[in-house]
Amino acid sequence: MAQWYYKISRDPTNFYAPLGDALEYFHTQVEEARKELKPKRGTEMIDYQLDLGSYFEYRLGQLQELEAILEFVKIQLDKVRGERKRNFLEHYNRQLTDRQAGEYADIDPDVLVLREFVQQVALVRNLFTAVTAGMNVLHYQLTNITKLKCAGLDEATF
């Protein structure tokens, strides 16, 4: 695994480039994971069942890494938003309420960029969640097919 979380969190002041690279990497990984959900023709069911556990473990690890990256970006968002809010409260030419300063901070360009990154990481995380759910369903289906074969229904048609 690429250890993207450590690459991103190494320098909290300059994490945009590694974050963009990580998002590209994880998008390609989602496409590969979707291919893993479709067994290739001619693959023995038992071989696929044996491989499914390692696929699931690898993809679940990637999902957990995405969760950590998302949490890191949210922390950075809160940090920047708090700095902008404090700046508005201390340096604005008129007295602002706490809510007004928060609203101004929410539309600050740096805050908006971080919100967009939060959305992008959340999207990729949701795609990995869907892949792991698909692997769970596939495991369930393979288990049921195995039970049917054990019961002697391997040539039945429905």
Q: At what angle do helices 45-91 and 109-150 cross, to 10 degrees?
A: 160
pLDDT of residue 138: 81
The answer to whether residue 19 sits within a structural domain is no
* 34 domain-assigned: no
Asked if residue 153 belongs to a domain, the reply is: no
What range defines the domain where residue 108 resides? 64-146
Q: List CB contacts of 74: < 8 A, sequence separation 6 or more.
A: 118
Local confidence pLDDT in tens for the 158 residues of the chain: 569 999 999 988 889 999 999 999 999 999 998 888 777 776 666 677 777 778 888 888 999 999 999 999 999 999 999 999 998 888 888 888 888 888 888 989 999 999 999 999 999 999 999 998 888 888 787 787 778 778 777 665 43
How far is CA 153 from each of CA 47, 100, 156, rounded to the nearest angstrom?
20, 69, 5
Report the C-alpha gap between 114 and 75 in whole angstroms.
Answer: 10
23 within some domain: no
Alpha helices in the chain (DSSP H): 4-9, 16-36, 45-91, 98-106, 109-150
* Number of neighbours of residue 15 by Cβ within 10 angstroms: 19
Residue 120: C-alpha distances to residues 53, 113, 117, 150 (Å): 28, 11, 5, 45
What per-residue confidence (pLDDT) applies to 158? 39
Residue 25 lies in a domain: no
Q: What is the number of structural domains in the chain? A: 1
Closest CA to 37 of 143, 138, 125, 127: 138
Predicted pLDDT of residue 144? 79
Is residue 101 included in any domain, yes or no?
yes
Compute how many other C-beta atoms are within 10 angstroms of the C-beta atom of residue 65: 21
* 105, 111 Cβ separation under 8 angstroms: yes
Reported pTM: 0.82
Residue whose structure tokens are 């995405």: 66
Res 145: pLDDT: 76
